[in-house]
Amino acid sequence: MVIKRRIFKLSTLFLGASLLALSLSACESRKNTRGNLLDPERVEDIRPGELNRDEVVEILGSPSSITPFGSDTWYYISQRTETYAFFAPKVLERQIVVVSFDKKGKVTKVDTVGLEQGREIIPVARKTPTHGNKLTVLEQLIGNLGRFKNANKNAAKEKDQ
């Protein structure tokens, strides 16, 4: 009897410790890196007036984004985030390297923008009104009841002629 109690206590203790370890490991944060995280030494190698587009691609790789209109500018965008359980991710680090080129393809300017210069954008919650009837599901179902009956009769008459 005493042995059974000790085994029961040990198994309960082991089960409790296992549950505690599993619950603590579920709260571990996840760190994600997205984009092209550049080495600062490589960014320093890009000097205005000396390099062209092909040489920049060899040093930094392909850009994350290129301006479609106007000035010829390349963006290398990266960020590191940390997520705990089901909470929204927290941005730990953000780096945007902006490389501008002239019309001949030579580098004119290199800027690095960090998380400090970023601004949070709050989207507008307005809705655009649309024209037309606002029908409920029931009105849509009832409105279609006799609609196709006459169409089938007309198609049969045209077929006979």
109 — pLDDT class (breaks 50, 70, 90): very high
Closest CA to 46 of 54, 64, 95, 68: 54
Domain residue limits, the chain: 28-119
Closest CA to 100 of 54, 58, 68, 66: 66
- To the nearest whole percent, how much of the chain has pLDDT over 90? 16
**How many residues are there in the chain?**
161
Name the amino acid, one letter, at 143: G
Record the tokens describing residue 129, joined without a space.
């009104």
Calpha distance 65→97 (Å, rounded): 11
CATH fold of the domain at 28-119: Beta-lactamase Inhibitory Protein; Chain:B, domain 1 (3.30.1450)
Which pLDDT tens digit goes with each residue over 40-64? 888 888 889 889 989 999 999 989 8
Name the amino acid, one letter, at 118: G
SS3 3: helix
Phi, psi of 119 (to 5 degrees): -125, 145
31 — pLDDT class (breaks 50, 70, 90): confident
Distance in Å from the first CA to the final CA of the chain: 98
Record the tokens describing residue 23, joined without a space.
């619950």
